[in-house]
Structures are given as structure tokens and as C-alpha cells.
Structure 1
Amino acid sequence: MTFKKLMMGTIMFASACASIAHADDVVRIVTEGGYAPWNFVKPGGQLDGFEIDLAKDLCDRMKARCEITAHDWDSLIPSLNAGQTDAIIAGMSITPKRQEVIGFSRTYAAPINTFLVAGDSPLGSLPGQGKNINLDTDEAGAQALVKELTPLLKGKVLGVQGSTTASAFAEKYLVNVVEVREYKTVDAHNMDLMSGRIDAVLANAVVLKQSMKDPSMQEAKMVGPTFTNGVFGPGIGVGLRKSDSALKAKFDEAITSAVKDGTVKKLSEKWFSVDVTPSE
């Protein structure tokens, strides 16, 4: 079964707990299903990943009956605002641009982003390796690093997933340095990277680390600095309609509880081998 066909269907789970008062007594959660290990579709057709486990846990804490559906990334916000779904749990970073059209819960994960290149790439020794740049507190450092990266990146082709914080970073910092090529999925730009059609990709470091487990990606390597905050936002949260204040309050309370009792840490270490727990 192809991924496209899976996206046209509905894949759901329901907690065994009593439902909360909401549309049809069901919280309709939507995810992408193509962003491993955050969320993905297993060969048998079931959704899995960090966010699927977390969604189930949050629904239990909210005493909610939930269903989750996998949709194309570009349709997540439109379907939410059209009233077709109630919540987005899909590795979606909280950004000012997105906050113009939807609301968010508090953060449930802290995103880290970096570059990936093929193993024999001349970009294999980008400066800044091992350094993390917080774009909120070290904008000067970010600009200085971009200046240092410019001679190496000039004229290269950078792949990013469209309508993501990675594309926002490229537009702000690298638009006059590289040719930015947008893709529908991470898998698509990774495929072009390994086939030599692009020179590097920029994406969530956890997702890239997972991609490198594929035999076709074993020669790839993450290079240069990591980036947080700024255009990448304060973290990843549940996307909600701005009018759903009651549902936001329930998600906020459930996420805070899962952070405090170590559940988010446990799940992030299970799926990522690193702790992406946000600050409380």
C-alpha cells in the first residue's frame, strides 16, 4: 500500500477513558504520518512514533476519546480551521506566522535543527560543528556564523521541506547564499541529497538522525552547528483553533503533567535516544 493511499484513509486510536465534552465526544487529532520518528506509518498501515505514543498518553490524562488521522502536511492547518479536525500533533513548531492563523498548546518538545550532507561532500567540514546557536539570544552569533558559512555554501543547492521552520530559516539567513529547493517531505529531499541532485538539507536533527539508519543514508552525516529558537520557534506544540480555549487548557494541563512526571523524557529517549523535554 502506498503512502499516498494511506493518507487518504483514516487511522485511529481511542483511549479507554470516558470522553470529554467536545464535537461528537471525540477529539479528532491529525498528524502527517511521514516524519519518522516523530510520526510515521508502519508497513501494516498503523501510525506509530513519539507523537502517537504521546497523543495516546495525553488523551488518557484528559480522559478523552480520541482518533488520529494522517493527512498531507500542507492540509493540516486548513483542515483544522475548516472544522474537519480538532488538533494537530505533527512536529509543528510554534512560530509567529502560524500563530496568526491558529493557536497552540504549551510546548511538548524542543526542536533542534542542523545540516545533512552526503559522506563525500566538500561540505563535510562546515564550521560550527558541536556548537548550538540560540537564535533568540545570539542573533549576532548566527549572523557571524552565516558569514563564515557563505564562502562554502555559495552557489550550492539546499533542500528543505516546504512550509516548515527550516524553509523559514533558509529564507531569512541563506536566501542570497544558496539555491533553496523545497520538497513535500523529508524523504524526498533526502533522496535527492543521496542521488547528488542537491548539496545539503536542513531539517530537524532528530528526524535526520532517524533517516541515517536507512541503508541508503548510511554515508550521510550531520555537519555544522545546530540551531534552536528564533524562526524555529520556542518549541513544538499541539496546533488548535484559536477559539478552542477549553481544549487548549486540557492539552496544556496534560502536557505539563507529562513533562513533570518524566513521561515526555521517557518517550523522547525511547524514540530519539536524546531528551527533547522542553523547559517547564
Structure 2
Amino acid sequence: MKKTVAISAFLALAAFAAAPEVQAKDWKTVTIGLEGDYEPWNLTKPDGTLGGFEIELANDLCARMKVECKYIAQDWDGMIAGLNAGKFDVIMDAMSITPEREQQIAFSRPYAQTPAGFAGLKSSDLAKMDGTGTMVSLTGDAAHDKATVEILRKALKGKTIGIQTATVYTDFVKNNFGDIATITEYKTAPEHDLDVTANRIDVAFDDDTYFTSAFAKPGNDQMVLVGPQIGGSIWGKGIGPGFRKDDADLRDKFDKAIADAIADGTVKKLSLKWFKLDVTPAATP
């Protein structure tokens, strides 16, 4: 018996020694997936090229890492599936880092932290909604958030709320207002803007940086933020790039490049250019 065990152990060690060493991928080209339709984070220009905060930030990060950046447009609701299927290597699409998403993919440190809120028409009764023009912080803990949520529920009872599907905001809207309001989901954010301006829904809920850009578009000049801006840990650790879990080496490259871009002020410079406010994360995780 001892001899059999010894022989088995020897064979196992020999097989291990003979196995080829797994080499880290030589990242010369990195393909980044994004919508190309979530301005000002990322957008498609009239000539078909991509632009926006995340495109310019990604170009900067790739230059620091000495890799070539390529981009591919992908519908939001298939973003994580596309990454894990190998369609692209990184997601950079205003994606909030949440525990639920961390079960499916890996994240580096965040490159932005932003509040979210409701937008409606200037002429609506919600334009004077309690808390408009203020900032509140929610944690996702029902006891902590109850007072603020109850004020919002009172104002939104019987209303129709638009939300882009499969975002970090979708469950927040459904869970807190689904029993007192009608929730309408949209494939893209601009679609809920169209329904707000056409009076088909009362409000839309989205990232405030998105609305800042959306309000400047033709046809959206009657839209305005209503109610408080909502920030805090309820939206996760911040917004950052997502990776396949087995691409830890690529994640580490981005982690360092983002840290350097934050430290030298590049993230602040680009965020002021595209958002007119500084979305640099308050602290690294």
C-alpha cells in the first residue's frame, strides 16, 4: 500500500513537472466594449467614429500601458455576456461596480463616482418636487434610506417612471417604486428622454452626468432634474472597467494606469471637459 501511494505520488509530481507552464497573455492589443450611445460617457460621432469621456480616458490608459486600443459597440443588456464570451477584453461603459456584478466579472479600481436622479419636464408638477437642487446619500440599507425614499415615494405615487434596463439603477427604481408607480424599461437611455419630452412618461431615472449632456440636445431643452441628486454607496464602489476573472494581469495593468491618471489629474481634466464637474473617485478602494 505504501509503495502504491509512493508510486502514485511520484507519477503525480512527474506529470506536474512535465506540464507546460501557463504563460500570461502578451497584451499588445486590447478590445474595449461600450455602447457608443451613452453621451457624454461614450458616443458615436456623425462620421461613425467613437468619442466621449471613456474613449479619451481609454486612449490615455492604453498609451500608459503601451497597448493598442480597439473599440466595439455592444448593446448594454449583453455587455457582461459579450465580455465573458470573448467578444472584447474590457467593458468601459459607465458600469458601476456592485457585489452582484463582481460575482460575474472582475473590476479594477474605479475611475469615476457620480450621483443619479430623476428628470422630468419643467412644466410638470414634479419640477418643484421636495429636495430638488439638493444632494442626498443612500447606502442601500432600508433603515438608513427610509426617510429619503418615503419622500420620493409620496411624490411619485401614481406616476410613470422610465429606466434603462439592466443598469445599477433598474433594481433601485423597481424595488422602491414598483408598487406605487408604473415602471417602463428602455433599451437605451435616449429612448426614455423621448418619452419624457412627449409626455408619455412623467420622469426618467439615470446618471446625472448623462442628463447634463442630454438636456443640451435638440428637443430636450424642457427637461430638468427633479428631486434630489442621489449619491452614496448604494451605487457601489464607483464606475470602473470590467474584465474576465481569468484576465487578472490585464486588470492589474488598468489598475495601475487608472491610479496614475488620477494622481496626475488626467481624470479630473477629462471629467471637467465632458461633464463640467469633477467625477474623480473620492478614494481608492
Instruction: Establish whether residue 219 from structure 1 lines up as the match of residue 222 from structure 2.
Output: yes
Q: 1:194 aligns with which of 193, 197, 215?
A: 197
One-letter amino acid matched to 1:45? G
Q: Does the Cα contact within 8 Å between 1:93 and 1:111 map onto a contact in 2?
A: no
Query: Which residue is 1:103 aligned to?
Result: 106
Q: 2:239 aligns with which of 223, 231, 236?
A: 236
Instruction: Establish whether residue 253 from structure 1 lines up as the match of residue 234 from structure 2.
Output: no
Measured against aligned partners, the alpha-carbon deviations of 1:31-85 in whole angstroms (never above 9, x if no partner) come to 1100000000000000000000000000011111121111111121111101121
TM-score (norm 1): 0.89
Distance 1:142 1:278, change over 3 A: same
Whole-angstrom distance in 1 between the partners of 2:94 and 2:82: 16
Q: Does the Cα contact within 8 Å between 1:128 and 1:145 map onto a contact in 2?
A: no
Q: Does the Cα contact within 8 Å between 1:168 and 1:231 map onto a contact in 2?
A: no
Whole-angstrom distance in 2 between the partners of 1:54 and 1:73: 20
Whole-angstrom distance in 2 between the partners of 1:171 and 1:230: 18
- TM-fit CA distance, 1:133: 2.2
**Aligned residue pairs: how many?**
260
Q: 2:51 aligns with which of 48, 51, 74?
A: 48
One-letter amino acid matched to 1:38? W
Instruction: Establish whether residue 70 from structure 1 lines up as the match of residue 73 from structure 2.
Output: yes
Whole-angstrom distance in 1 between the partners of 2:185 and 2:134: 26
Q: 2:183 aligns with which of 180, 183, 186?
A: 180
Q: Does the Cα contact within 8 Å between 1:133 and 1:142 map onto a contact in 2?
A: no
Measured against aligned partners, the alpha-carbon deviations of 1:60-116 in whole angstroms (never above 9, x if no partner) come to 111111211111111211111011211000111111111111111110000210110
Q: Does the Cα contact within 8 Å between 1:35 and 1:207 map onto a contact in 2?
A: yes
Query: Which residue is 1:10 aligned to?
Result: none
Whole-angstrom distance in 2 between the partners of 1:139 and 1:62: 42
- TM-fit CA distance, 1:177: 2.1
Q: Does the Cα contact within 8 Å between 1:229 and 1:235 map onto a contact in 2?
A: no
Whole-angstrom distance in 1 between the partners of 2:27 and 2:269: 32
Query: Which residue is 2:6 aligned to?
Result: none
Whole-angstrom distance in 1 between the partners of 2:26 and 2:38: 28
One-letter amino acid matched to 1:90? D
Q: Does the Cα contact within 8 Å between 1:158 and 1:200 map onto a contact in 2?
A: yes
> Structure 1 stretches of 5 or more lacking a match?
1-20
Query: Which residue is 2:206 aligned to?
Result: 203
Query: Which residue is 1:18 aligned to?
Result: none
- TM-fit CA distance, 1:256: 0.4
Q: Does the Cα contact within 8 Å between 2:159 and 2:181 map onto a contact in 1?
A: yes
Q: 1:39 aligns with which of 37, 42, 46?
A: 42
Measured against aligned partners, the alpha-carbon deviations of 1:208-228 in whole angstroms (never above 9, x if no partner) come to 010100131111110111112
- TM-fit CA distance, 1:169: 1.2
Q: Does the Cα contact within 8 Å between 2:27 and 2:250 map onto a contact in 1?
A: no
Whole-angstrom distance in 2 between the partners of 1:136 and 1:149: 16
Q: 1:128 aligns with which of 124, 127, 131?
A: 131
Runs of 4+ in 1 over 4 A off after TM superposition: 137-141
Query: Which residue is 1:143 aligned to?
Result: 146
Q: Which residues of 2 match residues 263-278 of structure 1 at below 5 A?
A: 263-278=266-281
Q: Does the Cα contact within 8 Å between 1:108 and 1:278 map onto a contact in 2?
A: yes
